[in-house]
Amino acid sequence: MHHCENKRSRASITRQWIWVTAAILAVASQVPAAAQPGFEDYYFDSPLRHYQGDVRTLYFNDPKGFRATYLPKTRIPLNTEDYFGIWNYLNHKDSWPRSGDPLIPYDNHSRKKTYVTDQGNPHDAVDWLVSFRNWGQNEVINPFPRGAVVEVTSVNDVNPDIPDNWSAGNSLDLVCYLDGDATNQSSFNKYQVSFWHLKQHSVLVQPGDFVQFGQVLAQVGNSGLTGLEVTHIHTRYIHYGTRLDPFKGRWNKNIQESLLFDQAWVEHKTNYHTTENRKHLTLNDAFSVEMPNRSWNTYVFKAFSEIEAIRVGDGQGGIEPGYDVLANPNLRDLNRKTSNFIDNDGKRHTLYEVSFRWYQDAHPSVIDKDIEFLIETPDGERSNRVFVVVRD
């Protein structure tokens, strides 16, 4: 792959590209099993199609009753093996008896902070978490049940996986038609679920597509206004212009039943801890980086754990044995440094950084394909994977 590498290393990297390509094709075609026990057997028969009266009047007579009767229950939009928890956001400030207290978790439980709608710190969605360790492999799944008529209405897939401080990043909108008729564009008939912060170029659907039960839609990314501690998808639930917190709780005034399929199971699976994610790795402040071929390129690896070695992934979840990038004699300007900073939540972090220049002279067989890197800590722990794509 690189100038002056020995033949063994070049052959090893070439084998790795074959494995990576096969893995990518397998993921793209995979339809996962149900994310939650019992969800496979839950069927939504579009009950609004049976109502013969005025839907507008039905809704305004009892909005919460309408949502309980006619909106489908949804699963978590991730595979259970990827699901890591719910990010620590706050909920229902305006519903709290002591108005003015900003630290309001849903259902008055100090470890269930998911949602807030006040003007000072608006967050009107649930952040479903995955671990940084599985970067590039966390699939976003159609959350609607069997029987639901679900259309893709909007896709944005062009933003790099580099956090910013203002945008949704890559996004995807789904609409479920409550009466099963996609030609009925009444706002009362549309239940929308939106996903933000998706991985660049990972979206597998287009506007106008109708998605199937359990269909893979995209991958979790790190685009837009994301954070240092977690990889997540910011998920909005909207009906008739109202952004809904799907969790039933004492202080949630917009619903009388949970919008989630088996909320108790979701809460049981949620561990609320982000310690593992602080071991995450970035390359040039991103997870996927393009490098020009036949050029000296700068690599800057950053992690919340000390970097003992930089390994090359084998495309099957392991590493190329015996190969440490930092031992490559062709590296130039190798440098290590640490820095301390405090994030927006007031938490103090130590950031470990290794940087160098490396001459890119890639074999034609690996041009435009992903190559995996990960770090190993002094105690042998490994990080998530980051990717380099070499372009001619």
**Quick one: which of 205, 49, 237, 226 has its CA closest to 140?**
205
3-state secondary structure of 362: coil
Give the pLDDT band (50/70/90) at residue 42. very high
Q: Which residue has tokens 């050029």?
A: 295
Pair of tokens at residue 266: 């979701």
Q: Is 306 within 8 Å of 326 (Cβ atoms)?
A: no
Residue boundaries of the structural domains of the chain: 7-25+280-391, 31-269
pLDDT (0 to 100) of residue 110: 53
Torsion sign (Cα): 32, 36, 40, 42: negative
pLDDT tens track for 175-233: 999 999 999 999 999 999 999 999 999 999 999 999 999 999 999 988 888 765 567 88
pLDDT tens track for 266-304: 776 664 444 444 556 888 877 778 899 999 999 999 988
Pick the CATH number of 7-25+280-391 from 3.40.50, 1.10.3470, 2.60.40, 3.40.1350: 2.60.40
**Quick one: which of 286, 308, 314, 280 has its CA closest to 299?**
286
Instruction: State if pTM tops 0.95.
Output: no
Lowest mean pLDDT of 15-29, 75-89, 115-129, 229-243, name the range: 15-29
d(CA 222, CA 172): 14
Percent of the chain whose pLDDT exceeds 90: 43
195 bridge partner residues: 172, 235
Round the average pLDDT of the chain to a whole number and report it: 79
CATH class of the 31-269 domain in this structure: mainly beta
Angle (CA) 308 129 83, round 5° = 95
Q: Distance between alpha carbon 50 and the CA centroid of its chain, in Å?
A: 37
Indicate if the pLDDT at residue 315 is higher than 80: no
Pair of tokens at residue 336: 């290590």
